Chains A and B, each alone.
Chain A
Amino acid sequence: MDLYPTDEQRELVTAARAVTRAGAADVWTAATGQGWLALGLPEDAGGLGGSLADEARLYAEIGASAVAGPVLATSTAVRVAASAGRLDLVERLAEGRAGHAFATTGSVVAFDARDADVLLLVDEESGSLRLVPMTDAMVVADLTPLDPAVTAERVDLSGGEVLAEVTGAAAEHELVRAAVLVAAMLAGITNAATDLSVAYAGLREQFGKPIGAFQAISHRCADMAMRARAATAVTDFAAVSVDEHHPDARRRVAAARRHTETAALENTRATIQVHGATGFTWEHDAHRLLKRATFLAAGFLPRTAQTEALTA
């Protein structure tokens, strides 16, 4: 029993932090250049063979930056290609990016599809993940996304060509991994919102003292810190449980997903309030964290599926 991060994990976090704090363009460069997309891919498929726990620590940093780029969709697409035996596609995607949609047919809303090489189509109901080629001709309309870290498009899926598909246990494995990494990003957001709030509460003065000296603010910050600490712990706990094939892994993943979703939404709402009018501006990062959390919360393993897994 040891949930303390390894030296390698801590180095990974430090390196990731240096990149994510530097700004949007660099995150995607790092994702491709530093091998983040292949971190959890098995070595025989050209990956680095990292554990899901390693990936979770990395994705927490990506989440905290709120400027992700399609890292999870693309890394999942690479894995789907590898799992389907399409190593040629794996190689092609090393330079590419994937959009995604939680639908497989018709005219649907997709994200990050405009500049994508492939679309990852997720059907959680039947448990399948499919890769289809993405062309500009498929874009019916460009939409305005809630989350400025993504693009949103209405896309026509009637073309029909499928590059790769996984179903059954292989798809289940990918869906569980993706759910853990969504939880990890939400945990990162939960921590980032806490850090922003605590820093501001210590600096901003009203009534002649830092607002963090008032319990109305400091207790809010304490609540945020508790949620953040638990969010990190439960994500590690779920990731290691999946890595070790623990019999409770599915329930723990659903718990991590549920806890981090609630925590990230609570903390991002709270940080806007702690920052006052500044927190309400476009210029400040607080709204980006809220919107990123909202976007991720609607992603892999949504609430109803969590409820089912947690009450079974």
Chain B
Amino acid sequence: MPPDASDSTIAQLALLARRVEREHKARLAAEVLAEQGLRELYQAQQELRLLVSIADTANHASSITETLRFAVTSICNHTGWEVGHVYLNHQLPAPSPLRSARIWNDNLAPAFAELRDFIEQRRLVANDGWPGRVLAARQPLWIRDLAAERDADCWELRAAGQLRATFAFPVIIGEEVVALLEFSCTRVQDEDASLLSLLSKVGVQLGRAVERKISQDKLLYDATHDALTGLPNRQHFRQLLTQALLQAQQRNTQCAVLFIDLDHFKLVNDSMGHHAGDQLIIHVAQRVRSTLQRLEPIRHPDQYAQTLCGGAVVARLGGDEFTVLLENVTTESVPLQAAEQILELLKQPFLINGQEVYSGASIGIALSAPGYYSGDEILRDADLAMYQAKSRGKSRGKVFDRGMRDQAAKRLTIESDLRRALPRQEFLLNYQPIVALDNGEIIGFEALIRWRRAGVIVPPADFIPIADELGLIIPIGHWVLEEACRTLRDWQQHFPRQQPLTISVNVSPRQFRQPNFVSQVRQALHNAGIEPGALTLEITESATMGNPERAIATLLQLRDLGVKLSIDDFGTGYSSLSYLHRFPLHALKIDRSFIARIDGSFQSFQVVHSIMSLANNLGIAVVAEGIETIEQVGHLRALLCQFGQGYHFSRPLPQADVLQLLTRPVLCLTR
């Protein structure tokens, strides 16, 4: 420093020196802060990366275990800990104890094998060891040194595997721990609060992933299963069938489809209500399942174990239709035997709403064979076979054969023609006289429908059941009623009598059960302008089945209207004698089968005799149907049967011929 340097210069230099020193210190402090900031940033980025990668995997993984496996590996990589393991509820979404998911990140194996075996056998419950404590508290837990923990979970084993610090955290959905992830390392390590906080977030992410997977599975399950029975639905069954067909072709084996249709489901549903119908469906599903459980078990790759019945799959296609898929079928007898067992079990009564209900079923069977290219084809053929079984008298099984396809095609044509028959005015009525057996006088006629299809007359037996199935019976029945009443009016005008001519009209069960049936009858009488007493409605016993009280109410209304009522085909149906006296009947019509045998069969004679006594006691008239011989007339007259009809008197006649007949309305009763 020069000798003339002033004090102020010295002071300034001192200040500068101090500033340099102070700024140097400040810079060092700033660098420390910056480094710390960078480290924290890096750590935050790593944590974020871990969270994002787990969330990302959870979004794209095909299974929960895939997500958990990724999470365990990622956390081990992030923390540098050697061992990671997962406990999982394997019964999701149902609650169940956690068990090892056998998902490991194990960098110590095989030194660790003994502990690993122990853990894999374990069923984790609350407070059982330290993972059990995590389960109970639903909170993450950190143990800095297992060796120092008295109640640490199997610490001897862990110590033998040299594991010291450990932590675990739960994966929670709602209130329930659905998985638990545990990690261990060979160092003693103090609790890291920020790591535990991060892992709690991972736990939340995993919880959401599991929850999402459960929802997806449920959606998939709901979309592929019938809600009422829990059985696979049509769509799912078709998939399984396609798969089974493919396997059968590859392995050169066969599979079979049983198509089951209940015989009286509609009756139960209509008469007892939909709830009862649902109950019946549930019972049927249980019975079919239980039958198949007794069959030889065959492994099946379907993921939904509950739909399997010892290797057979039962499905509900909808309504009262069920299907069974049998795989590895060696002979036709296997599905036949299964069908027989199912039929037998379904024949037994079901207890619905405290009432015994009989259903029965018809089963069609189709076996895979060369030439089948899709499951739908087998299903269609099984359906055809079922239809055949049903048309041959129900409660039976039928194996598909190729002839059925032609019949089905024929039926399809009939169906489509039948739908057009009414608007095309292809129906016509024939009339068969009903004769008083004491004097041979024609007292009236039974109207009988015919279908003129492409110029050929089709008998009722060939189209009425189909019309019934298609629901066409209602408009057809309505037409018959109107037409018969109109015709009767014409005859009454042309042939006035003291006791006016009557007309009998057959009413189908479905028609009878319409809520507005009585008003339809009233309208028909009004339209034709005939007296109600001139109309007799013939109903079968089956029309009154199911809900007799409702049937009685309808019958009473009809009686009050003035219409006469008779029971058709008496003796062939259920002959519900208990109700007979409650029905306001005017007549019973004895079925032709008894009349045909009245000559030769003492039994038939006795049946007719009994019916006559019954009717007499109840004050009901009797009409004998199907009288073909003079001898039959004699027997019936001897039994004091009042009325009769049949070829002996006249076949059913077109309207024009009736006019001719009515010019001489007394028929010959003796030789």
Whether chains A and B associate is no
Interface residues of A (CB under 8 A from B): none
- B residues at A contact (CB < 8 Å): none
